[in-house]
Amino acid sequence: MALDKQHDSADADAVRGLIERWAAAVRAHDYEGILAEHAPGIVMFDVPPPLLSRGIDEYRRTWDLFFTVHEPGDAFDVLDLEVTAGRDVAFAVALMRCGGSHDGEGEAYLLDFRLTVGLRKLAGRWQIVHEHHSVPAD
């Protein structure tokens, strides 16, 4: 991807690091890590219904649902990430891949999806205030 005139800043690096840590926490089913850098009022647009989840409790439940399919160690990978960061507002645009080929009980799956993340810097710390995950409609 190529968004126009990327900022190439310490802030962009901080946001990139945050997103990679979050993805690693998802791979490990580490809820504390998944939720560590999210604002209480996060607005989540997830791949499956509902249309919208609001607040950290509803956000957490979207992961309960995902982990009925995704097993610890399955892929949840940032394939391509572009960060646009200002002084206290940033957003990130990514192509993502999740999946696993289970020899055990789980069914094999592979899903490429789109991710947009909105962030604010509060008290010197970047926080995720919005996530939008989706696949194209059939």
Structure tokens at 113: 């999806």
Residue 20 interacts with a copy of itself (CB under 8 A): yes or no: no
Environment class of residue 136 by beta-carbon count within 10 Å: exposed (0-12), middle (13-18) or buried (19+)?
Answer: exposed
Q: Which of residues 99-118 bind a copy of itself (CB under 8 A)?
A: 112, 114, 116, 118
Secondary structure of residue 5 in the 3-state scheme: coil
**Shortest gap between Cβ of 9 and a copy of itself (angstroms)?**
11
Sheet of 38-45: strand order equals 53-54, 38-45, 125-134, 109-122, 89-100, 75-85
Nearer to a copy of itself, 24 or 47 (CB): 47
Residue 8 interacts with a copy of itself (CB under 8 A): yes or no: no
Residue 9 interacts with a copy of itself (CB under 8 A): yes or no: no
Residue 125 interacts with a copy of itself (CB under 8 A): yes or no: no
Q: Which of residues 61-100 bind a copy of itself (CB under 8 A)?
A: 82, 84-91, 93, 95
According to DSSP, the residues that pair with 120 across neighbouring strands are 89, 127
Applying CB under 8 A, among 1, 64, 68, 108 the residue interacting with a copy of itself is 1
- The span from the CA of 56 to the CA of 133, in Å, is 16
**Shortest gap between Cβ of 13 and a copy of itself (angstroms)?**
15
| Positions in the binding site for a copy of itself (CB under 8 A) | 1-5, 7, 39-43, 45-52, 54, 82, 84-91, 93, 95, 112, 114, 116, 118, 120, 122, 127, 129-130, 132, 134-138
